[in-house]
Amino acid sequence: MSTALVTDLTIFVLALLVGIEVIGKVPATLHTPLMSAANSIHGIVLAGALLIGVTAHSFVGYLLAFVAAFFAAANVVGGYVVTGRMLKMFRRKAQPASSEVSKP
Amino acid sequence: MTTFTTNIQLVYILGAACFVVGLHLMNSPATARRGNQVSTAGMAIAVIATLVLLIHDGSVTGIGWTVLIVGALLGSAAGLYSARTVQMTAMPQLVSMFNAVGGGAAALVAIYGYIHDESAPGGVLGSTTVFTVLDVLIGSVTFTGSLIAAGKLQGVVTGQPVIFRGGRLLNAALAVVAIGTAAFMLTTASLPALLIVVLASLAFGVLMVLPIGGADMPVVISMLNAFTGTAVAMAGFVIGNWALIVAGALVGASGGILTKLMADAMNRSLANIILGGFGTGDTAVSAVVAGDAQIRSIAADDAAIQLAYASKVIIVPGYGLAAAQAQHGVAELAAVLESHGIEVSYAIHPVAGRMPGHMNVLLAEANVPYPQLREMEEVNPEFARTDVALVIGANDVTNPSARRPGSAISGMPILDVDQARSIIVVKRSMGTGYAGIDNELYANPKTSMYFADAKKAVAELTAAVKTLVG
């Protein structure tokens, strides 16, 4: 087993433990935004798609890179925007009907 | 590793740290928005670092740039559009779609890497093959599984468990083929083998989710979320990128925790949920409600009197409330009660919606302040001091028979609604809930049944309360 792999595995295990610790403290009220935030975080695969896509030199390669970039970018942008939209609705006090009229 | 690439790895670590801090800030609704911004910044840092690396590398062709940039821009537009327009009730579908594309992208990274290395002189076998294979397996299962889950939630695919003869056998066979071929790939480089793994995993994903019923979706979505995270982490191993490894591990942990919370809230094992078929009738045990039990039905005026003269009211919303789009009406009713000095809060069961925390978002959208949204453990002791528990569209999570053995929901944690001084249940009919069993709460002498559609009932209650208290 190479040193690089051991380093990678160490990082993985430690990140897993940090994740369990941090996420265990999120209240049930915020579980939907949490999941949607987690969703945008796994959109980091966009970086992976970019790194690997640049080695493409064939039609199949370009196609796969295109689809991967599309999927990952949709994941990142959509995830962050929708999480922000949800979190904006959590208020400490009820507000009088604002400009953002909720649909019935 | 050159100094330059080392520096880029350090920037990736910075991005990953932002993800951790962002998730940490999600521990309170007051700081959660800032958390999302920190996380977004981390993502921007990681993506920009990647672009800098690619530009510095200089080996990218013009077509390569075009393909990647056009793909990313179109994907961003699609993500932005769906995030802006989605209804809060449809949030589980959207999250499921994001799971699908995330898992799909992770699988594609590994598939592409494998195909690319296949043609390389050194061949494809190496220390990362095991991660490639795992990434392809998990990513493909997540892709189709999430699509089916989204389809079920959207109503494109039936929400009922789809079970056919030999389905489980077929699924087991697919799993054996996928895992067996994957194991074969560890020792032998073979492109056809990769194709078999992909196809078998895709089919497995479909067949895994089809037999699972709609109300089990909170567990399924959480689990697929964990899968996506794991697939992304595996992709990180394949390309040796720390940002992907950390992000994937964080999401895997998040999905795993939520899966466990949801399964616990239903008191069912993950295996039981995945094997499916719950609520199809064959698991229903004999009704526990005595045959001579009296069901008391009341009208809006009587219910309004109980509410108007209460000093403490707890509203118990269930998925029926969201399905009837009654959350705004409920918030209005609560506001009227509160303006007359009545203490109102909401008791929210962990599986009240179609994904973890879903009901909270729906009520927050209806302008309910979050301090009123109370978790099960926290609110249960308060029912004994409550004058009226108003149950709207919730069923199994209020059934006291869960406290005794011998019922389909035995052992499931429930809201102690029956402890309240009086109970009003808004319900369309005496039909059973997801578990397919009778709810003995309805035969309780303290319970009044108000038979109506949730939205209509809430509007009538609000009007009646207003005339009472002026």
The pLDDT tens digits for B194-222 are 999 999 999 999 999 988 887 788 899 99
Side chain identity, residue B60 = V
Nearest to B363 by CA among A81, A80, A28: A28
| pLDDT at residue number B119 | 65
Q: Average pLDDT over chain B, rounded to whole? A: 88
Confidence of residue B9 (pLDDT cuts 50, 70, 90): confident
List Cα–Cα distances, B73 to B52, B78, B107, B160, B416, in angstroms.
Answer: 18, 9, 20, 37, 50
What is the mean pLDDT of the segment spanning B57-72?
86
H or E stretch covering B422: strand B422-427
Q: Which of A2, A63, A75, A85 best tests the B interface by mutation, with the highest count of B CBs <10 A?
A: A75
What confidence category does residue A102 fall into, taking pLDDT thresholds of 50, 70 and 90?
A: very low
Chain B positions in Cβ-Cβ contact with residue A32 (cut-off 8 Å): 91, 95, 353, 355-358, 360-361
Q: Supply B267's token pair.
A: 């008191």
CA distances to A68, B185, B195, B262 from B192, rounded to whole Å, are 21, 10, 5, 39
Does the pLDDT value for residue A52 go beyond 90?
A: no
**Start-to-end Cα distance in chain B:** 76
Strand residues in B289-421 grouped as ranges (E):
312-317, 343-348, 373-375, 388-392
B19 reaches A (C-beta below 8 A): yes
**A96: confidence class by pLDDT, cuts 50, 70, 90:** low
The torsion angles phi and psi of B145, rounded to 5 degrees, stand at: -60, -45
pLDDT reported for residue B311 = 94
Q: What DSSP letter does each residue of B355-386 carry, written as one string?
A: STTHHHHHHHHTT--GGGEEEHHHHGGGGGG-
Whether the predicted pLDDT of B131 surpasses 50: yes
pLDDT band at residue B289, thresholds of 50, 70 and 90? very low
Structure tokens at B460: 């009538």
| Contact by Cβ (8 Å): A11, B16 | no
Mean pLDDT of B105-113: 92
Region of residue B269 (left: phi > 0; alpha: psi -120 to 50; beta: else) = beta
pLDDT at B25 over 60: yes
Sequence length of chain B is 470
> Which residues of chain B does A92 touch, with a Cβ-Cβ cutoff of 8 Å?
29-30, 369-371
Give B322 or B24, the one with higher predicted confidence.
Answer: B24
With a CB cutoff of 8 Å and minimum separation 6, the contacts of B131 are B110, B234, B235, B237, B238
Specify the pLDDT at position B468: 86
Q: How far is B432 from chain A (nearest CA, A)?
A: 27
Token pair of B214 as six digits: 């709609």
The answer for B 348-387 residues in CB contact with A (under 8 A) is 348, 350, 353, 355-358, 360-361, 364-371, 373, 375
Q: Give mean pLDDT, residues B358-362.
A: 93
Structure tokens at B402: 């869960």
Alpha helices in B119-190 (DSSP H): 129-154, 167-187
User: B271: exposed, middle or buried (C-beta count within 10 Å: 0-12, 13-18, 19+)?
Assistant: exposed
Q: Which of A42, A60, A85 to mutate to test the interface with B (most CBs of B within 10 A)?
A: A42
* B406 Rama class: left (phi>0) / alpha (psi -120 to 50) / beta: left
What does the pLDDT read at residue A14? 95
Q: Does the beta-carbon distance from A91 to B364 stay under 8 Å?
A: yes
- Is pLDDT of B116 > 70? yes
Say what the pLDDT of residue B233 is: 96
Q: Do A80 and B39 make contact, defined as CB atoms within 8 angstroms?
A: yes
Q: Band of the pLDDT at B361, cuts 50, 70, 90?
A: very high
Return the structure tokens found at B403: 């406290």
Where b means 16+ CB within 10 Å and e means fewer, B64-91 reads beebbeebbeebbebbbebbeebebbbb
Is some CB atom of chain A closer than 8 A to the CB atom of B62? no
Q: How many CB pairs under 8 A join A and B?
A: 396
| Interface contact flag, A74 B76, Cβ < 8 Å | yes
Give CA separation, B402 vs B93, B268, B411, B438, in Å.
Answer: 30, 12, 5, 11
Model confidence, pTM:
0.89
**Closest alpha carbon to B337 in B305, B298, B307:** B307
Find chain A residues with C-beta within 8 A of B235's C-beta: 45, 48
Give the gap in angstroms from C-alpha B153 to the nearest C-alpha of chain A. 15
* Tokens (6 digits) for A44: 């980091």
Apex CA B211: angle with CA B206 and CA B217, to 5°? 90
pLDDT at B306: 92
Q: How confident is the model at residue A98 (pLDDT cuts 50, 70, 90)?
A: very low
- Res B445 pLDDT > 80: yes
Classify domain B300-469 by CATH number: 3.40.50.1220
Is some CB atom of chain A closer than 8 A to the CB atom of B239?
yes
Who's near B386: CB < 8 A, 6+ residues apart? B312, B313, B314, B419, B420, B421
Interchain proximity A32–B29, CB inside 8 Å:
no
Higher pLDDT, B37 or A104: B37
**Residues with Cβ within 8 Å of residue B154, at least 6 apart in sequence:** B90, B93
Distance CA B20, CA A41 (A): 10
pLDDT at B396: 87
Q: Are B76 and A77 in contact (CB < 8 Å)?
A: yes
Which candidate, B147, B24, B25, places its Cα nearest to that of B95? B147
Structure-block tokens of residue B1: 């590793």
Spell out the domain ranges in chain B: 3-275, 300-469
Residue in this structure with the two tokens 């690396």, named with its chain if needed: B53
Q: Is the pLDDT at B11 greater than 60, yes or no? A: yes
**Mean pLDDT, range A19-34, rounded to an integer:** 94
B95 or A96: whose pLDDT is higher?
Answer: B95
Residue A10's pLDDT is 94
Contact A40 B43 (CB under 8 A): yes
Say what percent of chain B tops pLDDT 90: 59
pLDDT of residue B127: 73
Residue with structure tokens 């707890």? B314
Nearest to B68 by CA among A38, A55, A9: A55
Distance of CA B396 to the CA centre of its chain: 19
User: Do the Cβ atoms of B245 and A85 come within 8 Å?
Assistant: no
- Residues of chain B in contact with residue A11, where contact means CB-CB under 8 angstroms, are 242, 245-246, 249
Percent of chain B with pLDDT over 70: 94
In the prediction, which pLDDT does B379 show? Answer: 94
CA distance A10 to chain B (A): 10
Structure tokens at B127: 């220390």
Cα separation, B82 vs B313, whole angstroms: 37
B373-416 pLDDT, tens digit per residue, is 999 999 999 999 999 999 998 888 999 988 888 888 888 999 99
Report chain B residues whose CB lies below 8 A from the CB of A48: 105-106, 109, 232, 235-236, 239, 241, 244
Q: Which two tokens stand for residue B124?
A: 């494809």
Flag if A86 and B19 touch (Cβ within 8 Å). Answer: no
Contact between B19 and B247 under an 8 Å Cβ cutoff? The reply is: yes
Active site amino acids of B: 396
Largest CA distance in chain A: 62
Residue A30 to residue B373, Cβ atoms within 8 A: no
Residue B235 has pLDDT above 60, yes or no: yes
